[in-house]
Amino acid sequence: MPVRPALSPLIAALPSTVPFVGPEAQQRERGRAFRARIGANESSFGPSPRVIARMESVARDQWMYCDPDNYDLKVAAAAHHHVAVENIVVGEGIDGLLSLVARMYVAPGDAVVTSLGAYPTFNFHIAGVGGRLVTVPYENDRESLDGLLAAVVREKAPLVYLSNPDNPMGSWWEADEVIRFIEALPETTMLVLDEAYGELGPASALPPIDISRPNVIRMRTFSKAYGLAGIRCGYAVAETQVISDFEKIRNHYGVSRMAQIAGVEALADQAYLETVVAQVAAGRRRIADIAEQNGLKPLASATNFVTIDCGHDGAFALKVLQGLLSRDVFIRKPMAPRLDHCIRVSVGLAHELDIFAEELPGALAAARGN
């Protein structure tokens, strides 16, 4: 064996893995493309025409580095949320911001609280800094606010993660319950409130932004309702000192010039956003109808996907997933206990949902051994 530079003990102990196996990797392995890409919670409706036109007009300017301050996008996001520019930090999607938060607040061995089955990329970043994950089971298809709070207090956790609306179940808490949770948290515990799907759920699920609280970070993305998953751009809203602390470690050239420009234009076109939200709501109804026509139970959703209870155990739901994949329909499913009896279907274009409707009966029959 060749002699090679040694990894740090922490990194050497970690597995080589990624939180998600993307549809591209699955297509390479299969040797053919999916006919319906309805598993990654992207927006098949894409960005607004205004965003596309602006991106096309600045394509030739991409020889320049981006603005490392992300100034124009911070100004736009601050105006959108009625806060100061000093309350906004921009990053490479929520994933990039989660990586920074893990480095900022978690030392090796620290307990970090999240829900069992919640967003796995958060767990990936916590493992990368040596944090100790403490997971709380879902209750009635929702993250357990009381369970999360009890774990935080018991473990003296410096960090807790909550997504609202939630992935992978599509459920949500109303704002007053989220506020109750925030007010009960120890002042020494930072809450990451992931609102990636915030634009798609009821307004009543989003608490007013309070930038006076030093232990809450609200995160938003352009990957979902704004239809810009491919540009990798998101931002966080928080108290001024918290945002200043991001400056100590963030990748100042991490968000491209194109992404910054697209984000500004996306925020400016709220009329288009409203049309997408309406299309997503219609798509959720269509998916729910397809599920019910096949004897399955769709869960209420405040996101751009519908989680469907397959009515049996996790092994059966996995067979349904595999049956759909074999029929060139890309979906995903939760894998954690209490959630694994479900599959998850993203809202897609009409023809993609037509394909899902055509192929689901055969996948169910195969799963049942018929």
For position 133, what pLDDT does the model report? 98
Each residue of 269-321: pLDDT tens digit? 999 999 999 999 999 999 999 999 999 999 999 999 999 999 999 999 999 99
Rounded to two decimals, the pTM is 0.96
- CA dihedral (252, 254, 258, 259) in degrees, to 10, reads -100
The secondary structure of residue 190, as a DSSP letter, is E
Class at the top of the CATH hierarchy for domain 49-269: alpha beta
Q: Say which CATH class 9-46+271-367 falls into.
A: alpha beta
pLDDT tens-digit map of 168-199:
999 999 999 999 999 999 999 999 999 999 99
Residues of the chain with pLDDT below 50 are none
Enumerate the domain spans of the chain: 9-46+271-367, 49-269
Q: Enumerate residues 6+ apart whose C-beta is below 8 A from 110.
A: 130, 131, 132, 157, 158, 159
Cα distance between residue 56 and residue 309, in whole Å: 42
pLDDT at position 1 is 77
Same fold, 9-46+271-367 and 49-269: no
pLDDT (0 to 100) of residue 17: 83
Q: Could you give the CA distance from residue 189 to residue 344 in angstroms, rounded to a whole number?
A: 32
Tell me: cis bond preceding 9? Omega within 30 of 0 counts. no
- Give CA–CA dist 244/253, Å, rounded: 17
